[in-house]
């Protein structure tokens, strides 16, 4: 079983019960203008999500892993999505269920582990990410991981009653490898 170890967290396969736990723990932060809502989703819906994860995994389109604290507590998920093996590209996405586990660096560790896996294990040459213009925490995390802002789709997303710009980020394998050299201080 795949397990990617970070300092405070590890990434591993999502089991059906993990999906249920994430659905149960999902919290909405009204103070965060970029927080999505899952109002009306039942716990049974988590079974559909688990089946979708398995289907996309079989089709080699997505790799979605759970984010676990080192004590084994599931706190979120991270994914390489829309894997295009011909063009060697995909996007990365992340979610942390409970507000208390956000802004603690867990997401940053998870994204970095997933980027390293994408570039160095499955041969991706380009990984992208999108975020709303008001999601400053996500923008900071992406830029901290080496992503470059490539563009802005103006008023492209209707969210929580307003139109927002969508920020498009990209990261190339060679940029990631340079960033890793800086993070790990391994390169000469």
96-129: pLDDT as tens digits: 999 999 989 999 999 999 999 999 999 999 999 9
Query: What pTM value is reported for the model?
Result: 0.89
- Mean pLDDT, all residues of the chain: 89
Alpha carbons 19 and 23: distance in angstroms, whole number: 6
* Residues contacting residue 30 through CB under 8 Å, at least 6 positions apart: none
From 144, 74, 73, 87, select the one nearest 115 (Cα to Cα): 144
Provide the total of helices (H) and of strands (E) in the chain, helices listed first. Answer: 5, 8
Residue spans of beta strands (DSSP E) within 14-88: 63-69, 74-84
Dihedral through CA 179, CA 57, CA 46, CA 9, nearest 10? -30
Q: Name which residue leads in pLDDT, 35 or 134.
A: 134
**Phi, psi of 10, rounded to the nearest 5 degrees:** -140, 160
Domains of the chain (ranges; CATH) run 3-184 (3.40.630.30)
Helix (H) or strand (E) holding 177: helix 173-184
Alpha carbons 39 and 27: distance in angstroms, whole number: 10
């Amino acid at each position: 079983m795949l397990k990617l170890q970070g300092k405070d967290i590890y990434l591993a396969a999502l089991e059906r019960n993990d999906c249920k736990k994430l659905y149960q723990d999902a919290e909405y932060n009204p103070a965060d203008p970029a927080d999505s809502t899952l109002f009306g989703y039942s716990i049974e819906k988590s079974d559909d999500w688990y089946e979708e994860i398995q289907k996309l995994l079989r089709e080699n389109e997505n790799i979605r892993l759970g984010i676990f604290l080192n004590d084994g507590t599931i706190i979120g998920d991270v994914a390489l999505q829309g894997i295009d093996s011909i063009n060697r590209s995909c996007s990365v996405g992340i979610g942390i269920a409970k507000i208390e586990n956000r802004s603690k660096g867990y997401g940053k560790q998870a994204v970095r582990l997933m980027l390293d896996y994408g570039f160095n294990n499955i041969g991706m040459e380009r990984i992208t990410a999108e975020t709303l213009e008001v999601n400053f925490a996500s923008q900071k995390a992406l830029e901290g991981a080496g992503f470059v802002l490539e563009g802005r789709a103006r008023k492209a997303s209707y969210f929580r009653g307003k139109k927002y710009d969508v920020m498009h980020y990209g990261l190339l394998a060679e940029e990631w490898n340079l960033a890793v050299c800086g993070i790990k201080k391994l390169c000469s």
